[in-house]
Amino acid sequence: MSANDPARGVPATTGAEPTSVLPETGSQLDEVERLQQLLVEADQRAKDHWEQYLRAAAELDNVRKRAQRDIEAANRYGLEKFAAELLPVRDSLELAVQNSGRADARSLREGQEATLQLLTRALEKLGVTIIDPLGEPFDPARHEAMMAQPSNTAEPNSVLQVVQPGYELNGRLLRPARVIVARAP
């Protein structure tokens, strides 16, 4: 049988032309065109969403990298302010050591008091506060009881004496105050 068989009623094809089935009615043709348009729009929306996703992923990656750099910088330079506040205290102590052979007891004491004031101001600037709970009720979250001592003058379970002051950094306990607690006689 040849490719062009008149008995079968099939025309010969060259193989280069695709055969297509056309819709039988105009409404089907309109429906196909509408669906093709919807497909094009959906494809465009998908491309837009993919581009938005890629931009969001890149932005998230940039934020992550920036946060990592900030953390590294904070770890590396976090103590810079602290160190800068303590340098005058060190300078004062260095002067005291240099002049210790020429100074009398009174001037040494004055130098020590000035250095202590420098240190106290530096710590205050950094948010460190002293816990000195003399006369306050005993607070186990902020105080460490060294011993209990009977007292006729102080309220029971109050701080009778501060052995060593405590410290807080911006409201967070660094070291509890070591205290002697009053108890009933």
CATH number of domain containing 184: 2.30.22.10
Number of other CB atoms surrounding residue 112 within 10 Å? 13
Q: Each residue of 66-105: pLDDT tens digit?
A: 999 999 888 777 788 888 888 888 898 888 888 878 878 8
How many domains is the chain built from?
1
Dmax of the chain from CA atoms? 134
CB of 96 closer than 8 Å to CB of 108: yes
Q: Judge whether residue 2 has pLDDT over 50.
A: no
Residue 149 token pair: 């001592």
Q: Is residue 122 part of a domain?
A: no
Q: Looking at the DSSP assignment, which residues form a beta bridge with residue 178?
A: 144, 164
Q: Is residue 1 part of a domain?
A: no
Q: What percentage of the chain carries pLDDT values higher than 70?
A: 87
Total residues found in the chain within this entry: 185
CA count, 13 A, side-chain hemisphere, 131: 26
Could you tell me the residue range of the domain that residue 132 belongs to?
Answer: 127-185
Average pLDDT on 10-19 reads 56
Q: Each residue of 117-141: pLDDT tens digit?
A: 999 998 888 889 999 999 999 999 9
Q: Is residue 142 part of a domain?
A: yes
pLDDT score of 139 = 95
Q: Is residue 51 part of a domain?
A: no
pLDDT score of 12 = 52
DSSP H/E element including 109: helix 105-125
Residue 81 token pair: 């302010």
Q: Is residue 91 part of a domain?
A: no
Average pLDDT on 16-29 reads 66
Residue 128, classed as helix, strand or coil, is strand
Q: Is residue 61 part of a domain?
A: no
Q: Is residue 150 part of a domain?
A: yes
Number of other CB atoms surrounding residue 58 within 10 Å? 10
Q: Is residue 158 part of a domain?
A: yes
Q: What percentage of the chain carries pLDDT values higher than 90?
A: 50
How far, in Å, are 61, 80, 113, 136, 153 from residue 67 at the CA level? Answer: 10, 19, 43, 44, 57
